[in-house]
Structure 1
Amino acid sequence: MVVTSNIKATFPCDSQRVWEVVTSLTNYSWRSDIERIEVISDTQFVEITKSGYRTIFTITRQEPFCLWEFDIENDNMKGHWVGAFSGNEKTATIDFTEHIEPKKWFPKLLVRIYLKYMQVKYVRDLREVLKNTTLDFGSKVEKLCHK
């Protein structure tokens, strides 16, 4: 049983800024669900939740400022995530889709509700960091979004 969940959101930001925030594996303090990220290689990383749960991500495709895809796996599920980015210097739109297959039996509706909950939480966190914070991405420190 594969469960698919999609979320789209638009931000009053330069699309490059949104890409930099989402794809950074070092500046993740804005994520309310993540304790830390361990980078394994150029194509693999592990997210550890605040409760210590580990999920392995393997990047399968990356087109800077346009597309980021990876396979996902942990003890409870495996799947594929596709993140499409579009926009211009004034607005950015994300279109994120997850295809998840539970490894254990869970009611499909429960899995769908949980995925949507996590996506909404992620977008809420992203919106807050883009609106309220200045992050350091390499040599430049700048306001991420227009107010």
Structure 2
Amino acid sequence: MRILFISLGIILLSILIIWLWGSTLSSTHKVEVQQTIRAPINRVWEVMTDWQNQPIWRKELKSVEVISPSEFIESAKHGSKIKFTVVKSVSPQNFELEMSGFVQGEYIATLSDIDGITKVSATEIVTQTSSFKRVLSYMFFDLNAFANEYLLQLKKYVEQ
């Protein structure tokens, strides 16, 4: 019985420590990334905003369910789902998406044409309200690497 209480105490203390650690971490994480793509701006825009076909070139996606022209749900291969809502769309210069579900936040993409080459600038702002999710994100998820990988996959697909 004593071992049970000690084990229970260790588990509760661990949960408390993780919760306290998570409460000291920022709830919002923001990254800004850029990529130059050797393709016309309209082509890059077309690929980026074709929600249904993104699993073709984004290796982490299992599927995308388009609910309406302004709403879709991404299902990752590891099981998480994120709902996106188009907040703003000015073709082919920029779009803004709001995220909800597994993560909350926003994604802002700006495209510019430089002599037939497209420069994509993206800002991703993720908010984790749960202390436990903040700790897990801090330990196991690199938002900067994720945002850069998205643009690298986009570049590779569009330039092929």
> Shorter-chain TM-score: what band?
0.7 to 0.9
| Contact residue 3 and residue 108 of structure 1 kept, 8 A | no
Partner deviation per Cα, 1:105-127 (whole Å, 9 max, x = no partner)? 2249828x621121121112111
Higher helix share: 2
Q: How many residues align?
A: 131
Residue identity opposite 2:145 in structure 1: Y
**Counterpart residue number, 2:19:** none
| Contact residue 52 and residue 64 of structure 2 kept, 8 A | yes
Superposed displacement of residue 7, structure 1 = 0.4
Give 1:85's match in structure 2, choosing from 100, 108, 111: 111
**Counterpart residue number, 1:103:** 129
**Counterpart residue number, 2:51:** 25
Superposed displacement of residue 70, structure 1 = 1.0
Give 1:3's match in structure 2, choosing from 10, 14, 29: 29
Gaps of 5+ in 2: 1-26
Change (3 A) 1:87 1:108: farther
**Counterpart residue number, 1:71:** 98
Superposed displacement of residue 103, structure 1 = 2.6
Q: Does residue 129 of the first structure (1) align with residue 157 of the second (2)?
A: yes
SS in 1 for 2:144: helix
Superposed displacement of residue 95, structure 1 = 0.6
Of structures 1 and 2, the larger Rg is shown by: 2
Residue identity opposite 1:120 in structure 2: N
Superposed displacement of residue 36, structure 1 = 0.8
| Contact residue 86 and residue 92 of structure 1 kept, 8 A | yes
Superposed displacement of residue 41, structure 1 = 1.3
Superposed displacement of residue 58, structure 1 = 0.7
Change (3 A) 1:40 1:103: same
Partner deviation per Cα, 1:28-61 (whole Å, 9 max, x = no partner)? 2011111110011121100001122110001100
Change (3 A) 1:55 1:109: closer
Q: TM-score, normalised by structure 1?
A: 0.81
Q: CA RMSD in A?
A: 2.0
Deviating beyond 2 angstroms after TM superposition, the runs of 4 or more aligned structure 1 residues are 107-111
Residue identity opposite 1:24 in structure 2: D
Residue identity opposite 2:105 in structure 1: G
